[in-house]
Structure 1
Amino acid sequence: MSFQQIQSSFIDYIRDPSHPLPVDTDTRHMQVYRELFFNNVEGFVGNAMPVLKSLYEEPDWLALVQTFFAEHDCRTPIFVEIAGEFLDFLVNEYEPGSADPPFMLELAHYEYLELQVAVTRDNPVFVRLDIIAAQDRLVLSPLARVAQYAYEVQHIGPDYRPTEPASQPQYFCVYRDDMHEVEFLSLAPLTAQVLNVLADGRGWQISELTEWCKANFPSLDVSMIEQGILPLLTQMAQKGIIRKLIA
């Protein structure tokens, strides 16, 4: 048997002990290796998505992570990115069962956004500002993410497990503040759309955003848009959600 074959059988058994034991090994020693790898993966997934984990009985949670561990081919060895791999597995490979809540994917995505915001490096090209000038080119902060969900993911926990989506779409911004704390902000639909536009990174001036809002929200009163866009942007800028592009 070649070294590659031995290595492959070693990996296969660690991922799923239903595979044959590698040559010249025994169950006791292989179990040590397997627990070391599995516990590392489970620990990081659980720490990245603590709310999701709290909704499962322990055997169900371990079974879910074991399925991920055995079936998903991670494209990165970096532990901080394992949560993203787990989310990708849930979205594209996993078939939910009776133990899985209906909001599983949205909650997992929300918790992954929180992790992303917590670990993302700031970018000096995007400058913090409190007062917005007409010529400023505005962008979404690299420390902010905007999302839309059907469920009220911000309230979900052991004591609140909705079985149906909310009556209206839920718009959120997850961002890191000046104290390096991850914060959550519920958004109105217009605010969420404006932040999504700013996420393209090109840099938008107030006049451009005003015209964009007029074109995309024709049912809104023009004067309301013209009078409301600056206060809205200023509020977002003061929270650090909007930055000025200087490059």
Structure 2
Amino acid sequence: MRGQINMKNSLPSFDSKQREFAAYIRDPEHNPIPAGIQQQRMAMYRELFFNNISGFLASNFPVSPYFSEIPEEFLAFLEHERNNANDYPFMLELAHYEWVEMALSIAKEEPIINESTLTLETRIQLSPLAWPLAYQYPVHKISPDFLPKAPAEQPTCLIVYRDTHDEVHFMEITPLTYRLLAMIEEQESMIVADCLQRMIQETQHPNPELMMTAGLQILTELAEKMIIAVL
């Protein structure tokens, strides 16, 4: 029939052309420009493509929960589906680190406000807007000039929290402080003295009095930042 397209012959060719087109847009340095298309036109298509994606992601604020789920889906893709030996080994952790700020910024919980002084007898709990995190790579230091190829000897421990002005902050903490916060989180709430005594037992610290004093100071500073709640 005149004018009828042979789908069996045209689709593979069209599919192949699409793949060439997409490959060049993604990585023009390692993929040839599709035959019959001027480089100037491809540069324009590439700019339009990335501008559209950039504009879509830049508007990712909590207007609809569907937009906020996009980064979560991307994390799931990296963790369960992406399998490329050429990827940076820290890619998943870096993506998670970047996601945390957005997740905390739209979390529905209200920031805590501490009005009482923290003592050894105080009962405390971790703020729902404070997340202790531990990574194999120093994700907060990664940049074009620093791309580690292997995990660090010690884990990178961070606490990410949202303050009373709804601003998200990242703070590097020691593994000991990370364990302290994780312990409080596991127990939901603890008396300060009990928490520190348990840490002394876990670490077998040779100077319990020093550990108690230092631990109280650390918890006091965390309470001032509203990372832990004074009950």
* TM-score, length basis structure 2: 0.68
Per the alignment, residue 106 of structure 1 pairs with 93
After TM superposition, give the deviation of residue 234 of structure 1 in Å.
0.3
1:236 matched to 2:222: yes
The number of aligned residues is: 181
Q: How much is the aligned-residue C-alpha RMSD, in angstroms?
A: 2.9
Q: From the superposition, tell whether residues 114 and 242 of structure 1 become closer, same or farther in structure 2 (CA, over 3 Å).
A: same
Q: Which amino acid aligns with 1:121?
A: K
**Looking at CA atoms only, which structure, 1 or 2, has the larger radius of gyration?**
2
**Which consecutive residues of structure 1, in runs of 5 or more, have no partner in the other structure?**
1-16, 19-34, 49-75
After TM superposition, give the deviation of residue 210 of structure 1 in Å.
1.7
Q: d(CA) in 2 for partners of 1:88 and 1:41?
A: 21
Q: Which amino acid aligns with 1:105?
A: L
After TM superposition, give the deviation of residue 129 of structure 1 in Å.
4.3
Per the alignment, residue 146 of structure 1 pairs with 132
Per the alignment, residue 217 of structure 1 pairs with 203
Per the alignment, residue 67 of structure 1 pairs with none
* TM-score, length basis structure 1: 0.64
CA contact (8 A) 1:87 1:105 kept: yes
Per-residue Cα deviation, 1:55-81 (whole angstroms, up to 9, x for no partner): xxxxxxxxxxxxxxxxxxxxx962112
CA contact (8 A) 2:119 2:216 kept: no
Q: d(CA) in 1 for partners of 2:230 and 2:69?
A: 28
Aligned positions of 1:186-201 closer than 5 A:
186-200=172-186
Secondary structure at 1:193's aligned position in 2?
Answer: helix
Q: d(CA) in 2 for partners of 1:145 and 1:43?
A: 28
CA contact (8 A) 1:129 1:237 kept: no
1:169 matched to 2:155: yes
Aligned positions of 1:1-247 closer than 5 A:
43-44=56-57, 78-98=66-86, 100-123=87-110, 126-129=112-115, 131-200=117-186, 202-245=188-231
- Following TM superposition, the consecutive aligned residue runs of length 4 or more in structure 1 with deviations greater than 6 angstroms are none
Q: From the superposition, tell whether residues 198 and 129 of structure 1 become closer, same or farther in structure 2 (CA, over 3 Å).
A: farther
Q: d(CA) in 2 for partners of 1:77 and 1:186?
A: 30
Q: From the superposition, tell whether residues 129 and 234 of structure 1 become closer, same or farther in structure 2 (CA, over 3 Å).
A: farther
Q: How many percent identity over aligned positions?
A: 33
Secondary structure at 1:95's aligned position in 2?
Answer: coil
Q: From the superposition, tell whether residues 135 and 219 of structure 1 become closer, same or farther in structure 2 (CA, over 3 Å).
A: closer
CA contact (8 A) 2:159 2:170 kept: yes
